[in-house]
Amino acid sequence: MQRESVSYWQATSDDVLLSQELPHTVDVAVIGGGICGAATCYWLARAGVSVALLERQAIGAGATGRNGGFVSAGPAGGYRDARMRLGEEIARSVMVLTTESKALLKQIVQEEEIVCEYREPGTVRLAVGEEQMKICQQEVALQHADGFPSIGLSRAQVQDLIKTELAPDILGGRLSPEQGLIHSARFVRGLAQAARRRGGSLYQAEVTHMVSTPNHVILQTARGTTQAGAVVLAVNAWTGQLLPALADIIVPVREQMLAYSPLPTVFTTGVTVDLVAGEYMQQTPDGTLVIGGCNTVAPHEDIGIWESTPTSIVQESIEQVVPRLFPKLAPLRVIQRWAGLLDCTTDRHPVVDVAPGMSRVWFTAGFSGHGMPFGVKFGSLLLPAVTSGSLPVALQPFRLDRPTLNKWSERK
């Protein structure tokens, strides 16, 4: 396998020191050091549960440390699309849950004093052409009807928010107010350190096998064996490697990003657009512009790819996005390129449930490139799931047996 790339977020945050010696026993073992694993460890530790987080590389080494840094309430793909794909009730429940998760994230940042550039300037969805403008208007109307904030924007109003001339075919868009932007690696690493301050333990170890018995779970690692009363598996794209029954349910999809050298302030909000394949960008407080997307130009859309390395065909496509949308923007210089693996489901909806045939193992995965809005709330809800042995009502829409979730091999 090729050497993994390093993201802008990973390069500009400090690693968290992980212990090398595993405990012999622990009440709960959390596997995976992304946002869901760190959040679950945090809430368990905060509740006084003996918890150990096991991460094979480093905190934030996977998708959480390689994403766009958006904390946007709502389902993947937008509210209108989710209503058609998942049904009105589930779409509404996702909007409510992710709104609560965003509030919890903000609370943790403040209480634990995590320095991670979190702010809530909102996100602008650009409408390129008449058809996208119509979709934006429909999205605004649907969200208003269900009681969620969304603001339709004219071209002039979009121009007021973006400090460079728009391409002629940007006709307007919509604003999702108070949506969050964050330095994702600094946040998840700060969250893991907060979990440790609360009594949790952090270890570097790759779990290679799990054996479930009536009373505990035995975890086999390269560093030895650990026995846990319960396990939470939060390894995203790698879920199927430890739970083979899910290998055709949750598959890796490579997503790529790049960062441009700092510019004067141009973007006052996060920006998303469907130019190639759902592109997204934000300008960080130091002026760096990070942008990602365009994976559909890759062979087979990079579905089933395991390498976290950028490719020329996708990177060249990403480089065309900003000049295409903002033709008068100053010349851009790429300073970092990276890739990461998304954990994708066929219905673009996360899964949280008990592992098939393993009553003491819970898993969460399938965020389909939209994990930041769910992670903190899912972690808080996995606390009662693990301690009571039953799935909380708020997690019922994410069950493994839902009718919209299909195997990738059976996808039409």
Percent of the chain with pLDDT strictly greater than 90: 96
Q: For the chain, how many residues are written?
A: 412
State the span(s) of the chain assigned CATH 3.30.9.10: 118-181+251-344
Q: Can you tell me the mean pLDDT for 92-100?
A: 97
For residue 259, what pLDDT band results from cuts at 50, 70 and 90?
very high
Domain 118-181+251-344 is found in CATH 3.30.9.10: yes
Eight-state DSSP code of residue 53: E
Q: Is 169 helix (H, G, I), strand (E, B) or coil?
A: coil
Residue 3 binned pLDDT confidence (cut-offs 50, 70, 90): low
Residues of the chain within CATH 3.50.50.60 domain(s) are 8-66+184-250+347-410
212 pLDDT above the threshold of 60: yes
Identify the residue whose tokens are 């995965």: 365
Say yes or no to pLDDT of 110 above 50.
yes
Given CA atoms 117, 121, 125, 126 in this order, what sign does their dihedral have?
negative
Q: What mean pLDDT comes out for the span 61-88?
A: 95
Q: Residue 97: phi, psi to the nearest 5?
A: -65, -45
Would the pLDDT of 12 be above 90? yes
- Mean pLDDT for 194-211 is 97
The predicted structure's pLDDT at residue 1? 34
Alpha-carbon distance 365 to 385, whole Å?
Answer: 16
DSSP string, 204-256: E--EEEEEE-SS-EEEEETTEEEEEEEEEE--GGGHHHH-GGGTTTSEEEEEE
What topology is assigned to 8-66+184-250+347-410 in CATH?
FAD/NAD(P)-binding domain (3.50.50)
H or E element: which one contains 154? Answer: strand 151-154
pLDDT digits (tens, 9 = 90+) for 115-160: 999 999 999 999 999 999 999 999 999 999 999 999 999 999 999 9
Q: How confident is the model at residue 412 (pLDDT cuts 50, 70, 90)?
A: low
Would you give the DSSP letter of residue 267?
Answer: B
What is the rounded average pLDDT of the residues 271-276? Answer: 96
The residues facing 211 across adjacent strands are: 218
The mean pLDDT value for 62-68 works out to 97
Residue of 270, 283, 292 lying closest to 74 (CA atoms):
270
- Residue 220's identity, in one-letter code, is Q
Least confident of 1-10, 57-66, 387-396: 1-10
User: Which DSSP category does 311 fall into?
Assistant: -
Give mean pLDDT, residues 213-227.
Answer: 94
- CA–CA dist 165, 337 (Å, integer): 26
Residue pair 177/149 in contact by the 8 Å Cβ criterion: yes
Supply the mean pLDDT for the chain: 96
User: Which residues have a Cβ under 8 Å from the Cβ of 57 and sit 6 or more positions away?
Assistant: 33, 204
Neighbour count for residue 303 (Cβ, 10 Å): 17
Contact of 207 with 56, CB cutoff 8 Å? yes
pLDDT recorded at residue 223: 87
The string of pLDDT tens digits covering residues 286-321 is 999 999 999 999 999 999 999 999 999 999 999 999
Alpha-carbon gap, residue 32 to 37, rounded angstroms:
5
Phi, psi of 207 (to 5 degrees): -80, 125
Residue 168: predicted pLDDT: 98
Which of the pair, 330 or 56, is modelled with greater confidence? 56
For residue range 149-197, what is the model confidence (pLDDT) as tens digits? 999 999 999 999 999 999 999 999 999 999 999 999 999 999 999 999 9
Nearest to 284 by CA among 7, 6, 61, 8: 8
Cβ atoms 373, 180 nearer than 8 A:
no
At residue 4 the predicted structure's pLDDT band, cuts being 50, 70 and 90, is confident
Phi, psi of 95, rounded to the nearest 5 degrees: -60, -45
pLDDT exceeds cutoff 70 at 2: no
CA separation (Å) from 308 to 66, 116, 119, 339, 370? 10, 24, 28, 5, 18
Distance, in Å, from the CA atom of 324 to the CA atom of 336, rounded to the nearest integer, reads: 20
